Amino acid sequence: MSSDVRDVLNLSVEDRPRPAKRQKTAASRPNLKGLAREVQNLGGDNPIAIVPEISSFKKRRLGSRKPAARWKLAPFRNSARGDGLLLKHWKREADKSSGQDGPANEHEATAEKQSEEIEDSEFAKFNVSVNVPQYSDDQYNATLTNKDWTKDETDYLMETCKKFDLRWPLVWDRYDYALKMLVPSGQGSGEGESDADPNSAVVPTPKIRTMEDLKARYYEVAAKMMAVQRPVQYMNAAEFSLHETMVNFRPGDETKRKAYAQSLLGRSKEEIKEEESLLIEVRRILARTEKFNQERRELYNRLDYPQSETTQDLSSFKTSMGLQNLLQTLMNVDKSKKRKSLAGTEVNTPASAGPSAHPGSTPISDHRRESIAASTHRDSIGESSRPERPAKKGPQQPERRKLTEQEEQIYGVSNHDRLSSGPTFRFERINKILTTKSNAQHQRIINTLAELDVPARLNMPTKAVVDQMEKLLNQIVILLDLKKVGDKLDADIKVEQVKKADREKRNAPAEPEKKGGADEAAKAGAPATESAKADAADGAQQAGQNGDAGVKQEVAEDKMDTT
């Protein structure tokens, strides 16, 4: 058949893309059965474009077909309603086991279910209403009286607020106290009576209330009732802020704001255009000043002007330390400048060429591009100046408030040049002094301490005590050294004296020069040792005093510390 078609269309047998199609048909053929295969075969070599129907998909569905889901018209209640209205909606039946039973059985089951539980609507929880302040007559008379509002009208306001969930536009829209007075409470059906009413009874014409009046009154009442229920000082933060907001409601300001909004709404097209153009102008001016400031700042940067230090604290330069810092800063800046000027020149030139091309009289259209250029310029500067910032920050940091010595004492602040890592015992410091010395010297120091009545091991190594002890030990070491020198000199002098006596014995004529030198040396040594002795004694006394005073008080503490 297909060859017939080919003949009709004058197509040669050769130009058909056979192999590809062969494969396809070979793949699809075994799936076909019955009539479909016959039809397919009609096509011969060139298969007809029939999309083989895949029946497996459909079959599977047919095979697993469940009985249709059961739905029932179930009554339900809404607990948000007070009247127990029963409405009915369609619900899917939960269990399908009853479906297998007979129809009578099923009816029974559903009847049972209906009777045993009538479900509550899941939407009942959305029934919420606002709380408006409640007050009794006494409370009203005590706190809420207002010459502008009667109690009746206040009641009406509260009622309206509750009715409309405090949606003020609606409250204002529906607020009609005059009508309320006309129609007595209860049924408002008798219109003829109420029409006659105002003529006979004296009705004070109620004021026309603006929304601000209503709000002001409501907030006044609400705030006062809040304060009555819980005095202001006991309110929590949320309550207090609410209270504050309500107390601070200014109807006058609101009215003014609304009048302004109204005028804003009633602007004509021209006015809006004018305003827009003015706004654009303002923005342009602001942008220009911003740019100008930026340029000035850059100029200052370039001139190494120490911007922040001078303005912030001049007194820091009054000391030599401050001047040193300043010098340091300037040197740092100078260094980075030199580095930057090398890097920055090629970045800066294209950007800086922009503004200088048309100085002063730049047209508006150019202005934007220029500002963009300026911004990129700024960025590039910022980038290169970033590394210098930490250097500048360094000297700025000690600008923290310096504590006086007294304050340091109070706060227990101490400064350390370098802290060793980890905790150490304070007396280690003293031990270190002792242990570094040779054994003989150690013994000598111990002896000196014993001589001074200071225990070698401190009972109470507080900071002050340890400091004093350290000082004392150092003095002792110096004392011992000087003693040693003195002893040595004494010994020398003795030796020399012995020698001199020998020589005098040997030859009668004497050499006075030599003796004088030794004397001088002895003289120089003696005062030194004397002063050292005095110092050491002094230090020991101090240490002893401090130590004794501290010991008794701080024994307990020390024990606690060590434990």
Binding site for another protein (CB under 8 A): 71, 78, 80-81, 83-90, 92, 121-124, 126-127, 163-164, 167-170, 172-174, 187-189, 191, 211, 258, 261-262, 264-265, 267-269, 272
Q: Which residues contact 93 (CB under 8 A, 6 or more apart)?
A: 69, 70, 71, 72, 110
Alpha helices in 164-250 (DSSP H): 168-174, 177-182, 191-200, 211-229, 237-247
Burial class from Cβ neighbours inside 10 Å (0-12, 13-18, 19+) for residue 63 reads: exposed
Measured from the CB atom, is 157 or 430 closer to another protein?
157
Give me the residues paired with residue 119 across strands: 76
Q: From the CB of 184, what's the least distance to another protein, in Å?
A: 13
Chain-centroid distance, C-alpha 264: 38
The amino acid present at 196, given as its one-letter code, is A
Contact 161, 171 (CB under 8 A): yes
Measured from the CB atom, is 90 or 411 closer to another protein?
90
DSSP SS3 for 90: strand
Q: From the CB of 215, what's the least distance to another protein, in Å?
A: 11
Smallest Cα–Cα separation from 396: which of 492, 312, 318? Answer: 312
Measured from the CB atom, is 89 or 288 closer to another protein?
89
Other C-beta atoms within 10 Å of 171: how many?
A: 21
The span from the CA of 109 to the CA of 102, in Å, is 11
Measured from the CB atom, is 173 or 383 closer to another protein?
173
Q: From the CB of 261, what's the least distance to another protein, in Å?
A: 5
Structure letter (DSSP) for residue 401: P
Measured from the CB atom, is 263 or 431 closer to another protein?
263
Structure letter (DSSP) for residue 285: H
Measured from the CB atom, is 11 or 264 closer to another protein?
264
Q: From the CB of 204, what's the least distance to another protein, in Å?
A: 23
Structure letter (DSSP) for residue 232: G
Chain-centroid distance, C-alpha 317: 36
Q: From the CB of 335, what's the least distance to another protein, in Å?
A: 57
Measured from the CB atom, is 212 or 309 closer to another protein?
212
Smallest Cα–Cα separation from 171: which of 210, 137, 201? Answer: 210
The span from the CA of 275 to the CA of 265, in Å, is 13
Measured from the CB atom, is 163 or 426 closer to another protein?
163
Q: From the CB of 346, what's the least distance to another protein, in Å?
A: 49
Q: From the CB of 62, what's the least distance to another protein, in Å?
A: 19
Q: From the CB of 224, what's the least distance to another protein, in Å?
A: 26
The span from the CA of 359 to the CA of 367, in Å, is 11
Smallest Cα–Cα separation from 78: which of 121, 107, 35, 116? Answer: 121
Measured from the CB atom, is 54 or 128 closer to another protein?
128
Q: Which two tokens stand for residue 473?
A: 């030990």
Q: From the CB of 269, what's the least distance to another protein, in Å?
A: 4
Burial class from Cβ neighbours inside 10 Å (0-12, 13-18, 19+) for residue 352 reads: middle
Q: From the CB of 170, what's the least distance to another protein, in Å?
A: 6
Measured from the CB atom, is 72 or 515 closer to another protein?
72
Q: How many residues does the chain have?
A: 563
In whole angstroms, how far apart are CA 274 and each of 257, 262, 281, 454, 556? 22, 18, 10, 93, 84
Measured from the CB atom, is 186 or 359 closer to another protein?
186
Measured from the CB atom, is 245 or 324 closer to another protein?
245
DSSP SS3 for 151: helix
Q: From the CB of 159, what's the least distance to another protein, in Å?
A: 11
Structure letter (DSSP) for residue 82: S
The amino acid present at 5, given as its one-letter code, is V
Q: What is the DSSP string of 419-472?
A: --SS---THHHHHHHHHHS-HHHHHHHHHHHHHTT--SS-S---HHHHHHHHHH
The span from the CA of 106 to the CA of 4, in Å, is 66
Q: Which two tokens stand for residue 286?
A: 């602001």
Measured from the CB atom, is 96 or 494 closer to another protein?
96
